[in-house]
């Protein structure tokens, strides 16, 4: 009888320990997932406000191209693509920057910019869609938001948004300014982490493909841009070495069976809007 008790007690004891550990693990996972989610209302408002301020700076450094037809064109393509991205709480805006640099930027909150120089190097609408998709991905995946911990509560550097509006102390403003400078560094000099660029590439390819564009357009554009990599240090400074990205894109195209995908490139319409 004693042995049976021992068996029952042992099984019962171990089971309790196991369940407690599993529950604690699940709870930790839930808490950590909420903490890193950046998806409550105040976080989203902080993201939009931060992105808006950063965008105003981008537009202060470069000029918005004064060409309504071209801006509308990229807005149409971008809005069409953004429908496939999972951030329904954001409205995406698109603008062309008046510079010959070959680049594209995305600020948190849904602000996407492409340079006149980048458009000049593009051959078709599929390439435009893929580049916009890549930038939309940086927003959807919250790459800047996560790096700078932009949250709506008071616990983060930019958590003073509510306080700022209410006339809060200078320390919040300083923290906010510092975060803006950090964001500018990511966009203009340091760049994103290579994993983030690769993630944005994959996402861009999938978004453009879901909308019906040729899946290999981003790779083709990057191969073309590679020519400018050494000659112009400002060119595409946001991005890591092209070779790694091109190799990873080829892997994605292969793995997803996209190499023989749609061939919709829309060269004529792109030329009508951009190159004429």
Answer yes or no whether residue 226 interacts with another protein by CB under 8 A.
no
Task: Please report, as residue ranges, which positions from 241 to 260 form the binding site for another protein (by CB under 8 A).
Answer: 255-258, 260
Answer yes or no whether residue 56 interacts with another protein by CB under 8 A.
yes
Task: Please report, as residue ranges, which positions from 94 to 123 form the binding site for another protein (by CB under 8 A).
Answer: 94-95, 111
Answer yes or no whether residue 133 interacts with another protein by CB under 8 A.
no
Min separation Cβ 71 and another protein, Å: 6
97 backbone dihedrals φ, ψ, rounded to 5°: -95, 135
Q: Looking at 155, 165, 231, 276, which residue binds another protein (CB under 8 A)?
A: 165
Q: Pick from 191, 197, 211, 186: which is nearest to 252 by CA? A: 197
Give the chain as a 3 state SS string. CHHHHHHHHHHHHHHHHHHHHHHHHHHHHHHHHHHCCCCCHHHHHHHHHHHHHHHHHHHHHCCECCCHHHHHHHHHHHHHHHCCCCCCCCCCEEEEECCCCCCEEEECCCEEEEEHHHHHHCCCHHHHHHHHHHHHHHHHCCHHHHHHCCCCCCCCCCCCHHHHHCCCCHHHHHHHHHHHHHHHHHHHHHCCCHHHHHHHHHHHHHHHHHCCCCCCHHHHHHHHHHCCCCCCCCCCCCCCCHHHHHHHHHHHHHHCCCCCCCCCCCHHHHHHHHHC
Task: Single out the segment in contact with another protein by CB under 8 A; choices: 114-122, 207-215, 225-233, 236-244.
Answer: 207-215
Q: Looking at 20, 32, 154, 177, which residue binds another protein (CB under 8 A)?
A: 177
Answer yes or no whether residue 231 interacts with another protein by CB under 8 A.
no
State the Rg of the chain over Cα: 23
Q: Pick from 62, 121, 141, 144: which is nearest to 95 by CA? A: 62
| Residue with smaller CB distance to another protein, 2 or 230 | 2
Task: Single out the segment in contact with another protein by CB under 8 A; choices: 115-123, 159-167, 222-230, 231-239.
Answer: 159-167
Answer yes or no whether residue 31 interacts with another protein by CB under 8 A.
no
Min separation Cβ 54 and another protein, Å: 10
Answer yes or no whether residue 264 interacts with another protein by CB under 8 A.
yes
Answer yes or no whether residue 215 interacts with another protein by CB under 8 A.
yes
Q: Give the CA count within 13 Å in the CB-facing half-sphere of 256.
A: 17
Task: Single out the segment in contact with another protein by CB under 8 A; choices: 114-122, 162-170, 218-226, 231-239.
Answer: 162-170
Q: Site mask, another protein, residues 65-84, x = CB under 8 A?
A: ------xx--xxxxxx-xxx
| Residue with smaller CB distance to another protein, 197 or 225 | 197
Min separation Cβ 57 and another protein, Å: 6
Answer yes or no whether residue 57 interacts with another protein by CB under 8 A.
yes
Q: Looking at 24, 154, 193, 212, which residue binds another protein (CB under 8 A)?
A: 212
Q: Site mask, another protein, residues 183-202, x = CB under 8 A?
A: -xx---x------------x
């Amino acid at each position: 009888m004693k042995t049976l008790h021992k068996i029952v007690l042992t099984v019962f004891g171990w089971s309790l320990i196991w369940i407690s550990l599993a529950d604690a693990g699940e709870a930790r996972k839930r808490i950590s997932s909420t903490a890193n989610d950046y998806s409550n209302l105040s976080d989203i408002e902080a993201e939009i406000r931060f992105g808006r301020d950063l965008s105003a700076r981008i537009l202060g450094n470069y000029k918005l191209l004064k060409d309504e037809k071209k801006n509308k064109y990229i807005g149409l393509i971008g809005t069409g693509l953004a429908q496939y991205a999972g951030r329904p709480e954001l409205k995406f805006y698109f603008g062309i920057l008046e510079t010959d640099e070959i680049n594209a930027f995305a600020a948190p909150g849904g602000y996407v910019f492409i340079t006149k120089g980048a458009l000049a190097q593009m051959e078709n609408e599929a390439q435009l869609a893929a580049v916009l998709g890549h930038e939309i991905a940086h927003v959807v995946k919250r790459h800047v938001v996560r790096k700078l911990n932009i949250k709506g509560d008071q616990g983060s550097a930019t958590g003073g948004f509510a306080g700022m509006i209410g006339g809060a102390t200078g320390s919040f403003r300083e923290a906010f300014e510092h975060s803006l400078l950090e964001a500018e560094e990511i966009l203009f000099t340091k760049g994103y982490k290579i994993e983030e660029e690769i993630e944005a590439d994959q996402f861009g390819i999938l978004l453009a493909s879901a909308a019906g564009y040729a899946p290999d357009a981003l790779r083709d554009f990057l191969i073309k841009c590679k020519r400018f990599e050494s000659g112009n240090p400002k060119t595409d400074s946001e991005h890591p070495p092209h070779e790694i990205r091109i190799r990873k894109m080829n892997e994605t195209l292969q793995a997803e069976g996209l190499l023989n995908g749609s061939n919709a490139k829309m060269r004529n319409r792109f030329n009508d809007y951009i190159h004429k």
